[in-house]
A and B are shown apart, each in its own frame.
Chain A
Amino acid sequence: MDASLLNLSYLVASVCFILALQGLSSPKHARRGIIVGAIGMTVAVAATLGHPQIVTYSWIVPGLVIGSILGAIISRIPMTKMPERIAFSHAFGGLAAALVGVSEFYTHGGHLSVVTRTALGLEVFLGFLTFTGSLMAFGKLQGLITGAPITYKGQNVTNIGMFFGSLVMLIVFVIDPTKVELFYAMCVTGFLLGILAVLPIGGADMPVVISLLNSYAGLASAATGFALANNVLIIAGALDGTSGFLLSLMMSRAMNRSFANVLFGAFGTGDSTGETTTALPVGASVNQATIEDAVGVLQAAQSVIVIPGYGMAVSQAQHAVRDLATVLESKGATVKYAIHPVAGRMPGHMNVLLAEANVPYDQLFDLDDINDEFSRTDAVLVVGANDVVNPAAKKNPKSPIYGMPVFNVEQARSVLVLKRSMNPGFSGIDNELFFQPNTMMVLGDAKKTLLSMVQGVKQAD
């Protein structure tokens, strides 16, 4: 295919990608946008198959066929596994960029310009870092590796040292292209740093990390674009890079934490638990309730707000939540859902689960939109959420989550908390809400509890 025609197809693809992202500004046009994006991708790939440098298809066709089949299979996974699946695909994205970088360097080695060498160095470093980092995130989400932070002495020094070490290697390699071994050393450092940097990051910080890895995967693609002088790669990489970066900024803001704190803070080690425990009222006791008590509260409620958290995903309770809401609505109550930006393990996690359970999206509310309503609400149902409903974030400057925007749950007339056990949540922080007189704790598996509550409310006629 003629080079200008090829470039024209890349322009078409770039426009389609931008339209796809633009479509996501509202759920109404989002699907149409994604289809436009897929068309753009097809145009770019079809045109590239006619690239003048391609002389054989014997390796391309199997790759495309196997990739399509595996891609289709992976896209069938249950919605509760979405964070794992996203982490996994970031790993593939990083690996693809890194391998293209290595192959490009291996082929053209000594003849590459300064610009290309810089781009290739960044590409393989970011690519391998994204690859192993995402696999680590996947392992933590899947429970293959402990979700708690893994720390050791000198960890941050090692990681920061490796980062700057690879920068130095890049600079030396760009100045002196005969130092081929430095290129491969950068590959290895990226690979190792991906593993080491994710080790100290705890489960609740996953939304930030997944977003950041999304950003790195995009930047690796953009670097590929610089190395191959390919504009569509630069554009798509820049879009992906900014998207991931913006998401991780939003997520860390929603936790009132800085990037540095998330990456190096090893949050949730439990060091600070002692401090907050003393802040609890002396002699406070937990009000454990039976399902019948809970049903009684819900029966009497005219307005109910549901706050889902990671616990809902773990016990796959989204359908049971929806069933309970349907029964309550049929009895005349209004039901709303309050979604915290960092609830779950990735941005938007709760929204997708509730959408899967057929909860209409106009019943889902962001933190700022619903926080004034709690004082006028009869009953709040907390399903597997903890830190996002902890009043310590507002009142206790000693608490590690102090300053994080949280729901004003304690203002509601009564609060029902569904929780597996009284163990403190991931962050190891005690939650004062659980000790308040208007809070009822219903312990047990959220899904089972909810289903019994549905039965209870139905039979109460």
Chain B
Amino acid sequence: MPQELLFALYIFVLAGFLGHHVISKVPHLLHTPLMAGTNAISGISLVGSLVAAGGNFNQVSTVLGAVAVTCATINTVGGFLITDRMLRMFRKKVR
């Protein structure tokens, strides 16, 4: 097995375990913000689309990359904004 793949698998598996650990601690109360938040985070695919759109490899790659940049930006920007908007609404009782 190539060394590179082994490395990547290490990271994937350990991140998965970490994810399981962290996410099991999220209460039912915050499951919608969790979903919106992970959605914003997975917009990190933006870093891949940026290289495709700006690399000047060929026209197909540039156009597909640009569309991908737009989609990923919508998710990232929109995702963080809406998660924050939701979390601002969660209040404790004022006594």
Query: Taking beta carbons and an 8 Å cutoff, which residues of A are in contact with B?
Result: 10, 13, 17-18, 20-22, 24-27, 30-31, 34-35, 37-38, 41, 44-45, 48-49, 51, 53-57, 59-60, 62-64, 66-68, 70-72, 74-75, 77, 79, 82, 85-86, 89-90, 92-93, 95-97, 99-100, 102-104, 106-107, 113, 115, 210-211, 214, 217-218, 220-222, 224-226, 228-244, 246-247, 339, 341, 346-349, 351-352, 355-356, 358, 360-364, 366
Contacts and interface: CB of A to CB of B under 8 A. Distances in A.
Contacts of B63: 59
15 contacts: A25-B22, A37-B80, A51-B51, A53-B55, A60-B66, A63-B53, A70-B74, A106-B61, A236-B41, A239-B18, A242-B16, A346-B31, A347-B28, A348-B34, A352-B89
Nearest to A53: B55
Given A49-B50, A352-B33, A64 B41 contact: no
Interface of B: 2, 4-5, 8, 11-13, 15-16, 18-20, 22-58, 60-94
A67 to B, nearest CB: 3
B44 A56 contact: no
A24 B37 contact: yes
A341 B28 contact: yes
Contacts of B70: 63, 66-67, 70
Given A82-B86, A107-B61, A360-B92, 12 more contacts: A17-B44, A21-B41, A41-B46, A48-B46, A63-B73, A67-B73, A75-B85, A93-B42, A106-B60, A229-B4, A233-B48, A358-B91
Contacts of A67: 69-74, 76-77
B87 A30 contact: yes
B65 A103 contact: yes
Given A67-B74, A99-B64, A242-B23, A34 B84 contact: yes
Contacts of B71: 67, 92-93, 95-96, 99
A57 to B, nearest CB: 6
A346 B34 CA distance: 11
Given A30-B30, A103-B52, A238-B12, A72 B69 contact: no
Given A64-B73, A352-B89, A244 B84 contact: no
B11 A235 contact: yes
A206 B2 CA distance: 40
Contacts of A97: 45, 68
B73 A71 contact: yes
B19 A48 contact: no
A132 to B, nearest CB: 14
A339 B63 CA distance: 46
Contacts of A339: 28
Contacts of A96: 43, 45-46, 49, 68-69, 71-72, 75
Nearest to A29: B87
A199 B92 CA distance: 41
B74 A45 contact: no
Given A57-B54, A93-B39, A99-B68, A348 B32 contact: yes
Nearest to B55: A53
Main secondary structure of the interface of B (DSSP, over half): helix
A210 B62 CA distance: 31
Contacts of B76: 41, 45, 67, 71
Given A233-B48, A361-B91, A86 B35 contact: yes
B27 to A, nearest CB: 7
Given A75-B81, A115-B2, A54 B54 contact: yes
Contacts of B75: 71, 89, 92-93, 96
B49 A99 contact: yes
B54 A225 contact: no
A13 B78 contact: no
B35 A38 contact: no
B91 A355 contact: yes
B35 A95 contact: no
A220 B49 CA distance: 13
Contacts of A66: 70, 73
A305 B53 CA distance: 54
The CB with the most chain A CB atoms within 10 A, among B29, B41, B50, is that of: B41
Contacts of B82: 74-75, 77, 85
B39 A217 contact: yes
Contacts of A226: 5, 8, 12
A176 to B, nearest CB: 19
A71 B72 CA distance: 9
Nearest to B85: A75
Given A17-B41, A347-B31, A59 B62 contact: yes
A55 B41 contact: no
Contacts of B26: 21, 24-25
Nearest to A41: B76
B92 A361 contact: yes
7 closest residue pairs by CB, A with B: A67-B73, A348-B31, A71-B78, A63-B69, A71-B77, A242-B19, A347-B31
